[in-house]
Structure 1
Amino acid sequence: MTVTDDFLDALDDLDVSHDRTTLADLPATLADAVTDPAVGVPLHVDASLPGSVATTFTPSELQDAATGVTPARLGIAEYGSVVIRSSAGGDEPLSLYPERHVAVLDAADVVATGRDAVDWLASEVAAGRGSHVLATGASATADMGGLVEGVHGPNEVHVVLVEADTE
């Protein structure tokens, strides 16, 4: 098994839906993954968001969005976590406020362990990019007793893993 397979297995354990796709098929995969109205920020892979995803939006449009689409900067196979960079573009609020978060992750950016992720984060901090959110599945809390999902973040997370084209 590869680190990518381990990551997808961890997502399955968390009941996080996911797609494996190539860069060429990413637009169609995203179109299927998005529930309108949707807002998003530019991806760090060389692909555009579907036309139905607004990249310029007001706070009210963010509040009304059913889906937020963001790039994930790192995937951690050990936990099934994705790392979202906080940026002026709004990556963090887009990953937290809409009911559905679609995270787009380059398969080359999946690491095996939390230790690997800490090493990566150290290099990000050293480069002046120190603000990130680590997300593992849908929002949940058990602070008040039984497990409640969707309290302080999305009810649903969907990861789109972009693999290298093989042709």
Structure 2
Amino acid sequence: MSTHTTSVFESSLSELHIDCTRTDSSEFVDILHDVIEEPAVGTPFEGYDVSLENTRVELNPTPRQLRNAAVGVTPIERAIAEYGSLVIESNTAGNEPVSLYPPTHVGVVRESDIIPDVESATTYLSNRFTAGKSTVFATGVSSTGDMGALVEGVHGPKTVHVILLTDQ
């Protein structure tokens, strides 16, 4: 990952009107609390230097907590710089529903996990698919134009915020 790739990612997010906050692990909890609204739900951050433990985010939410959540917070295993896409892994912790159901999604991306383009993701995706796992590419807020005029927030979050971890 290069500083150019990170710059392209941040620029792509800006074009999508997605806020991105850079931080290191020491400031993560403060930044998280600045960008979330309660009630917030989230999934564990396996292999990250940060955690949602001891935050105002409810881990492993029940269906009721998920329905009532204003914000969902998830780790993002890869991000596609060219499009500003977040690659959301399907897992037993519930990354997909936590990222797609609440009106706001906060995706936490390690700078080292930003890749330049979709082609760069093929080996990563191939390994996931071979293991029988799925992945969602989320680019911007939910929107559809299937029925005519473009409508946002129909089948996913109306707002997305990225927290970019710079020391991972």
Same fold (TM over 0.5): yes
1:122 deviates by: 1.3
Match of 2:69 in 1: 65
1:135 pairs with 2:138: yes
Q: Which runs of 4+ in 1 moved over 6 A?
A: none
1:81 pairs with 2:92: no
Structure 2 distance, partners of 1:142, 1:134, is 18
Identity of aligned residues (%): 43
Q: For the structure 1 residues 104 and 129, does the alpha-carbon distance in structure 2 shift closer, same or farther, using more than 3 Å as the test?
A: farther
**Is 1:121–1:130's contact at 8 Å kept on the other side of the alignment?**
no
Structure 2 distance, partners of 1:7, 1:67, is 23
Counterpart pick for 1:55 among 55, 59, 81: 59
**Is 1:98–1:153's contact at 8 Å kept on the other side of the alignment?**
yes
**Is 2:143–2:153's contact at 8 Å kept on the other side of the alignment?**
yes
Q: Give ranges in structure 2 of 5+ residues lacking alignment.
A: none
* Equivalenced residues, count: 164
Match of 1:23 in 2: 25
1:119 deviates by: 2.6
Structure 1 stretch 83-92 or stretch 54-63: which is displaced more? 54-63
Match of 1:112 in 2: 116
Structure 2 distance, partners of 1:8, 1:144, is 31
Residue 133 of structure 1 aligns to a residue whose secondary structure is strand
**Is 1:36–1:67's contact at 8 Å kept on the other side of the alignment?**
yes
Structure 2 distance, partners of 1:51, 1:160, is 15
Match of 1:37 in 2: 39
Residue 130 of structure 1 aligns to a residue whose secondary structure is coil
1:129 deviates by: 5.7
The code of the aligned residue for 2:110 comes to D
TM-score by length of 1: 0.93
TM-score by length of 2: 0.93
Match of 1:144 in 2: 147
1:56 deviates by: 3.3
Residue 152 of structure 1 aligns to a residue whose secondary structure is coil
Residue 93 of structure 1 aligns to a residue whose secondary structure is helix
